[in-house]
């Protein structure tokens, strides 16, 4: 021991032997010359400080020492600026005390003189030394919680009887951790109970019994664990049980007794800080059989009780909007096991509707589809991406308890974007003459489609995937792919939309006996893909099935058929023509022509006729639309009332054409389309 302290004493002086001696101004004691300067610096080793004691100071005296001066820095910051002449006593009393470095820090002297000395000054002299820094006395930050011992170059901590020094070498703690596994009863108290408990305690008491038992704690009335004025725990007692952590407990009120832990394995922790004098706690523990508790969340147990005995079977009903076992169950039976748990035990989890399947139609979209919530009671909102569609019904859907999206008014299934029909964006303002017709502007009759082969005819767009035409235009062609042109008025235009048919459905009642009978002259064409609706390609509306027709109602018929300008009225027109014509009376419709083989053409209730002197549809117009109200009127929307079907050759100038009465086929059209779409 003696040898060790000798070594400790010698060590700093042998290593830092230069760290004591004199420091003087240049030329001392004869006096310094003008423009003299010096820069001196020394550092103290760890756990030491460096000091300078001036024994002599004689420099030129100026008010702020601006001529000659010695400046002293401790760790780079100025601690003194000295000049003039000072007595030894004064030096000792006021000048020397601050000339001290921090532990392990450095002192620097900067001296300079100027040229202006009238009288010679001797300068300064001081003795510098390192000395041990007493951390125990002078360092409020030394970390010993109990005893502190200074030695040269450092310090160490020690503890009172009953405490030991923790790993950090500063904190004194008590040993209070105990493993009481296997004990079915016993007592646990804070260290030194009933005396005041130790500072810096970190106690862990482990209790563990057989699985079917639970530990039961009884606290004694006296309970005193340090608490601040806001009732927050300074020291604390916590109990870790299987269902979760109880506490922290502190203050003067013991935890409720008996405290059932519902666990056969618990850990009691007690922690104190470095201050205070409180009594602590004491408890005794014992065991009792485990019970089951109604702990399955988001559900109700029947019968409802605070706890259940081993073997008891109950019914678990998940709350509305919650399901168990991956959505398979909303209700199940479960039995209390001896371990105090339920078997089986499925948590009731919130119903998740998932993102709705929108289908292939990209027109229908979800608002903010990226951050959708899809759980029970969450809402989503739909919209149509194109202005040529409108959302049918409600746009807001809610995830219901059965995991389905339902609209706010209770409808299941997804909403639909349906085409806005019968509303051209280009206004039709003037009337004109197909026979007696007028050129249509682009977008004026956006539902008009052109068929060039197998024979020239028209067709009408009724939604983004279907058109109607006359059966006689395409009969015999059902097995092939038809090519239709849309979004054009110039029949030779190369910028038209080309539409390919996927399926042609001729009305089953069409007799294919054009000679005398055009009854049911209607057919549906399904496209290979949906067309892109735009200002020049828009569908027409279908009328109500009982709309009825009024004599003299003015409608518009359109097509690329023959025109009056073509002398023999045989050639078709290059540009789309339209004409406004009135619906004719039933009696004049019944007045049908006879064919070349002397058979009278048959008029049925599935037809109407229309026309006016100089105005008629002609060969090549068949399959095209007759719409109401007529185009020039501002009233929209427009409805497809008739399909150009038959009449006398235009050169006969009878100005009377027969049209398929579309209102008779609404059911058939809807049924046929639905059947195709659900396939
Ligand atoms: N069947 C003719 C066609 O295929 C339509 C005839 C219309 N005739 C009339 N005078 N309205 O184009």
Is 294 part of any domain? no
| Nearest Cα residue to atom 1 of ligand 1 | 646
For position 407, which CATH number holds? 2.10.70.10
Whether 601 is in the pocket of ligand 1, judged by its Cβ within 6 Å, is no
Looking at residue 445, its pLDDT comes to 95
Instruction: Tell me 198's DSSP state.
Output: P
- Do 195 and 154 lie in one domain? The reply is no
The one catalytic residue in 521, 558, 616, 617 is 521
Report the pLDDT value the prediction gives residue 348, as an integer from 0 to 100.
94
Q: Quick: pLDDT tens for 250-283.
A: 999 999 989 999 999 999 999 998 888 899 999 9
Contact 610, 555 (CB under 8 A): yes
Q: Whose CA is nearest to atom 11 of ligand 1?
A: 657
Q: Can you give the three-state secondary structure of 80-119, one letter per residue? A: EEECCEECHHHHHHHHCCCCECCCCCEEEEEEECCCCCCC
Percent of the chain as helix, strand, coil, to the nearest 5: 10, 40, 55
In a domain, residue 434? The reply is no
pLDDT of residue 455: 86
| 54 and 74 housed in the same domain | yes
Residue 470 belongs to domain with CATH number: 2.40.10.10
Q: Are residues 340 and 368 in the same domain?
A: no
* Ligand 1 in reach of 660 Cβ (< 6 A): no
Distance CA 391, CA 415 (A): 7
Exactly one of 74, 428, 558, 622 is catalytic; name it: 622
Report which ligand 1 atom has the smallest distance to the Cα of 649: 10
Query: What is the per-residue burial (b if ≥16 Cβ within 10 Å, else e) of 620-656?
Result: bbbbbbbbbbbbbeeeeebbbbbbbbbbbebeeeebb
Check whether residue 64 and residue 100 sit in a common domain: yes
Q: How far is the CA of 291 from the centre of ligand 1 (A)?
A: 91
The residue from 314, 330, 350 where one domain ends is 350
Q: Quick check: CB of 648 below 6 Å from ligand 1?
A: yes
Q: Is residue 433 part of a domain?
A: no
pLDDT confidence of residue 10: 44
Nearest CA to ligand 1 atom 2: 619
pLDDT tens figures, 211-222: 999 999 999 999
Give me the pLDDT at residue 514, please.
73
For residue 431, being part of any structural domain is answered with: no
Is 478 assigned a ligand-binding role in the annotation?
no
Domain closes at, from 152, 172, 192: 172
**CA 634 to centroid of ligand 1, rounded, Å:** 28
Nearest CA to ligand 1 atom 8: 647
Nearest CA to ligand 1 atom 10: 647
101 plus 155 within the same structural domain:
no
Domain harbouring 70, CATH code: 2.60.120.290
> Rounded to an integer, what distance in angstroms lies between the CA atom of residue 626 and that of residue 485?
18
- Residue 456 and residue 552 in one domain: yes
State the distance from the centre of ligand 1 to the C-alpha of 434, rounded, in angstroms. 11
HSE (side-chain half, CA atoms, 13 Å) at 655: 16
Cα 26 from chain centre? 76
Q: Based on the domain organization, do 367 and 456 belong to the same domain?
A: no
Calpha distance 207→284 (Å, rounded): 12
If asked whether residues 168 and 178 sit together in one domain, one would say no
Residue 235 marked in a binding site: yes
Instruction: Tell me whether residue 432 is in a domain.
Output: no
Cα(265) to centroid(ligand 1), Å: 95
Give the strand pairing for 178-179 and 202-208.
parallel
**Which residues on neighbouring strands pair with residue 131, listed in sequence order?**
49
Does residue 371 have a known ligand-binding role?
A: no
Whether residues 45 and 63 share a domain: the answer is yes
Element (H, E) at 122: none
Q: How far apart are CA 181 and CA 206, in angstroms?
A: 6
All residue ranges of the chain with pLDDT < 70 are: 1-18, 117-118, 360-361, 369, 427-436, 564-571, 633
β-strand 497-506 against 457-463: which pairing, if any? unpaired
**Domain-located, residue 679:** no
pLDDT at 368: 79
Alpha-carbon distance 257 to 220, whole Å? 9
Query: SS3 for 218?
Result: strand
Q: How far is the CA of 453 from the centre of ligand 1 (A)?
A: 16
Any ligand 1 atom below 6 A from CB of 650 = yes
CA distances from 628 to 350, 458, 464, 641 (A): 54, 17, 21, 6
Predicted local distance difference test score (pLDDT) of residue 569: 52
436 lines ligand 1 (CB under 6 A): no
User: Could you tell me the two tokens for 453?
Assistant: 């082969």
Residue 18, pLDDT score: 62
State how many domains the chain has. 6
The answer to whether the CB of 432 is under 6 A from ligand 1 is: no
Rg of the chain in Å (alpha carbons) = 53
Catalytic annotation on 472? yes
* 544 marked ligand binding residue: no
Residue 270 pLDDT: 95
Ligand 1 site, residue 249, Cβ cutoff 6 A: no
State whether the beta carbon of 584 lies less than 6 angstroms from ligand 1.
Answer: no
The two tokens of residue 59 are 């420099």
SS3 602: strand
Cβ–ligand 1 distance for 620 under 6 Å, the answer yes
Tell me: is residue 154 an annotated ligand-binding position.
yes
Q: Does 475 lie in the same domain as 344?
A: no
- CA atoms of 655 and 580, how far apart (whole Å): 12
Please choose from 646, 648, 649 the residue to mutate so as to test ligand 1's pocket, defined by most ligand atoms within 8 A of CB.
646
179 is catalytic: no
Here the tokens at position 625 are 């639309």
Residue 478 lies in a domain: yes
Question: Which residues touch 413 (CB under 8 Å, ≥6 apart)?
Answer: none
Q: Is 623 in the pocket of ligand 1 (CB under 6 A)?
A: no
Same domain, 206 and 252: yes
Residue ranges making up the domain that contains 388: 362-419
> Which residue pairs from 403-412 have beta carbons closer than 8 angstroms and sit at least 24 positions apart in sequence?
403/323, 403/327, 403/351, 403/352, 403/353, 403/354, 404/353, 405/353, 405/356, 405/380
605 is in an annotated binding site: no
Instruction: List, edge to edge, every strand of the sheet that includes 48-58.
Output: 20-24, 123-132, 48-58, 85-86
Query: What's the pLDDT at 564?
Result: 62
Q: Is 212 in the active site? A: no
Distance 551 CA to ligand 1 centre (A): 21
Tens digit of pLDDT for each residue in 173-207? 888 899 999 999 999 999 888 988 988 888 999 99
Domain presence at residue 425: no
Is 132 marked within a binding site? yes
Q: Report the alpha-carbon angle 438-644-590, nearest 5.
A: 115
114 is in an annotated binding site: yes
pLDDT, position 385: 92
Q: Do residues 162 and 66 share a domain? A: no
| Residue 124 near residue 25, CB atoms below 8 Å | yes
> Going by DSSP bridges, is the β-strand pair 483-486/331-336 parallel, antiparallel, or unpaired?
unpaired
Q: What is the DSSP letter of 446?
A: T
Q: Is 617 in the pocket of ligand 1 (CB under 6 A)?
A: yes
CATH code (residue 148): 2.10.25.10
What is the pTM assigned to this prediction? 0.62
């Amino acid at each position: 021991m003696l040898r060790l302290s000798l070594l400790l004493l010698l060590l700093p002086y042998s290593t830092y032997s230069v760290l004591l001696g004199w420091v003087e101004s240049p030329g001392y004691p004869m006096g310094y010359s003008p423009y003299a300067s010096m820069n001196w610096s020394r550092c103290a080793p760890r756990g030491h400080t460096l000091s300078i004691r001036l024994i002599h100071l004689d420099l030129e005296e100026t008010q702020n020492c601006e001529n000659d001066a010695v400046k002293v820095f401790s760790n780079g910051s100025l601690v003194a600026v000295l000049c003039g002449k000072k007595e030894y006593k004064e030096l000792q009393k006021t000048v020397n005390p601050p000339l001290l470095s921090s532990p392990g820090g450095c002192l620097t002297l900067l001296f300079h003189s100027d040229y202006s000395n009238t009288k010679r000054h001797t300068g300064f002299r001081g003795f510098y030394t390192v000395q041990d820094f007493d951390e125990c006395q002078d360092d409020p930050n030394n970390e010993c919680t109990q005893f502190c011992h200074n030695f040269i170059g450092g310090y160490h901590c020690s503890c009172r009887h009953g405490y030991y020094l923790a790993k950090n070498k500063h904190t004194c703690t008590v040993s209070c951790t105990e493993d009481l596994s296997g004990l079915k009863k016993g007592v646990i108290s804070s260290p030194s109970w009933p005396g005041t408990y130790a500072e810096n305690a970190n106690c862990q008491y482990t209790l563990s019994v057989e699985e079917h038992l639970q530990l039961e704690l009884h606290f004694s009335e006296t309970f005193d664990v340090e608490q601040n004025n806001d009732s927050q725990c300074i020291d604390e007692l916590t109990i870790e049980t299987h269902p979760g952590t109880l506490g922290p407990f502190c203050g003067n009120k013991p935890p409720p007794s008996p405290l059932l832990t519902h666990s056969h394995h618990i850990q009691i922790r007690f922690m104190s800080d470095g201050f205070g004098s409180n009594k602590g706690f004491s408890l005794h523990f014992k065991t009792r059989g485990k019970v089951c508790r109604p702990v399955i969340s988001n559900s109700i147990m029947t019968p409802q009780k605070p706890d259940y005995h081993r073997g008891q079977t109950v019914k678990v009903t998940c709350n509305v909007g919650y399901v168990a076992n991956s959505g398979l169950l909303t209700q199940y039976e479960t039995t209390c096991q001896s371990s105090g748990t339920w078997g089986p035990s499925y948590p009731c989890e919130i119903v998740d509707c998932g993102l709705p399947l929108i289908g292939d139609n990209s027109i229908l979209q979800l608002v903010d589809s990226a951050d959708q919530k899809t759980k029970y009671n969450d809402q989503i909102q739909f919209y149509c991406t194109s202005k040529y569609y409108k959302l049918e019904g409600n746009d807001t859907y809610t995830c219901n308890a059965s995991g389905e999206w339902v609209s706010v008014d209770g409808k299941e299934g997804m909403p639909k974007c349906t085409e806005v029909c019968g509303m051209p964006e280009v206004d039709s303002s003037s009337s004109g003459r197909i026979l007696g017709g007028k050129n249509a502007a682009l977008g004026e009759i956006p539902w008009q489609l052109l068929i060039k082969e197998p024979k020239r005819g028209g067709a009408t767009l009724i939604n983004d995937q279907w058109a109607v035409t006359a059966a006689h235009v395409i009969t015999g062609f059902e097995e092939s792919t038809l090519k239709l042109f849309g979004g054009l008025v110039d029949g030779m235009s190369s910028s038209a939309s080309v539409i390919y048919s996927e399926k042609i459905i001729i009305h089953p009642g069409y007799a294919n006996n054009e000679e005398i009978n055009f009854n049911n002259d209607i057919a549906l064409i399904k496209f290979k893909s949906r067309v892109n609706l735009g200002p020049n390609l828009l569908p027409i509306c279908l009328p109500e099935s009982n709309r009825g027709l009024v004599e003299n109602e003015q409608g518009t018929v359109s097509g690329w058929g023959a025109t009056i300008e073509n002398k023999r009225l045989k050639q078709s027109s290059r540009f789309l023509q339209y004409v406004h014509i009135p619906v004719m009376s039933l009696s004049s419709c019944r007045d049908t022509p006879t064919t070349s083989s002397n058979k009278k053409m048959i008029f049925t209730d599935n037809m109407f006729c229309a026309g006016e002197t100089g105005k008629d549809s002609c060969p090549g117009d068949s399959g095209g639309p007759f719409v109401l109200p007529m185009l020039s009127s501002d009233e929209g929307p427009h409805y497809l009332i008739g399909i150009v079907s038959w009449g006398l050759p235009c050169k006969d100038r009878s100005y009377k054409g027969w049209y398929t009465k579309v209102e008779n086929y609404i059911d058939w059209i809807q049924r046929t389309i639905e059947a195709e779409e659900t396939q």
